[in-house]
Structure 1
């Protein structure tokens, strides 16, 4: 008898110390992104980033291993919000529709904060073209997101769907969804297309998702009584 994995538990509220730590990490990440965009990674040092962020160099290295690693929170932030939105999908919702809706919503750039996040990503991806270490951070962020997405999809699948989060269908779906966003952002980053509308990340990601999942069997979603 197969057992259905339990839905991921809601994250516990962050403590004051954890919130301060996250805020410091984001300040450092933004400072690194600014400098990489202005000067390029080669002409930016960890000392430069720490100074721009207003922290000591030892604080920088308490949170990050390298100057390139410092931008990981910015690159991962959108994926974190996207997975959280997907995890909150109502039972019985078609998984294919839920994926499209969550991807479109996360890349829609409806508010200025979301639009700013996409512009940061564009600058970082342009800088990564000539910096293998920065590209490695981008690929690592995507790989980690794919692994976490598999768990979310497994929790949303129906009880009679493959129960293992590593099942072939779920692996393919998680890989396709992650690749769709990655390819869309990389394609958009080298253009001057806007953050919204034709040629924007949301439109490109949906096109990529539909192409990549064309031959993937989407597992059925759990019903309201099956969660």
Structure 2
């Protein structure tokens, strides 16, 4: 049975085991601890030992999951993209890809519950910290690249076998770039998580600019 994420355009994955859920929970605890410390002190004044202590785990546990202190925040930065791809994968057949992308982006960045709003706050703090930390910026760019790669599978499943692979690749790059630029722009300000200057509105604007010339390809084609 495949272990691939259904949001990546593959067959439904099996339910995670208890061990896998515990592992994911521990990684997220470490990620939150790292984000707190980076926001409070900055990456330069934070050590892996500090993060492990804040998360309540042994240092060896930290290094079991993460290669560096900056790498520890990757689960937080990737969480929003995971939710977005899952939202996109539920698009009804026949919906044009630009429409499906804009709807799913707006829904995933809308911060309609506390978990989503908290995720945006963490992202803002980490992006601000990354301005002065090349290693943290590298984690951010890696997370975006991985999300773009996975998005191509979702788009291919939605568009059907007749879709142009080059157009799908460009669409994945444009959509991922729209969210990245929107979040980076928002993080530079003190704008709230809702309204015309919020990530959802900025990302929709970016997407429309980037995809203005794209053909209205339909999903579920034959």
- TM-score of the superposed pair, with normalisation by structure 2: 0.94
Deviations 1:59-99 (A, max 9, x none): 00000000000000000000001001111212112211110
Q: Measure how far apart 1:111 and its partner are.
A: 0.6
Contact 1:173-1:218 within 8 A present in 2 as well: no
Instruction: Identify the residue that residue 18 of structure 1 maps to in structure 2.
Output: 20
2:176 aligned to which of 167, 178, 187: 178
**2:74/2:143 contact within 8 Å kept:** yes
**CA deviation vs aligned residue, 1:148-193 (integer Å, no higher than 9, x gap):** 001110111133223xxxx210111000000000000000001000
Q: Deviations over 1:35-79 (max 9, x none)?
A: 000000000000000000000000000000000000000000000
Quote the Cα distance in structure 2 between the aligned partners of 1:69 and 1:116.
20
Equivalent residue, structure 2, for 1:204: 202
Helix, strand or coil at the partner of 1:210: helix
Residue 114 of structure 2, aligned match among 112, 115, 133? 112
Q: Which moved more, 1:94-103 or 1:126-135?
A: 94-103
Matched pairs, number: 215
TM-score norm. by structure 1 comes to 0.92
Match for residue 84 of structure 1? Answer: 86
| Cα shift readout 1:21-47 (whole Å, capped 9, x = no counterpart) | 000000000000000000000000000
- 1:108-187 equivalence runs, <5 A: 108-162=110-164, 167-187=165-185
Alignment-derived partner of residue 56 in structure 1: 58
Runs of 4 or more, structure 1, over 6 Å off, are: none
Contact 2:144/2:180 (8 A) holds in 1: yes
Partners of 1:160 and 1:17 in 2: CA distance? 40
Unaligned runs of 5+ in 2: 1-7
Aligned to 1:3: none
Q: For structure 1, list consecutive stretches of 5 or more residues without a partner in the other structure.
A: 1-5
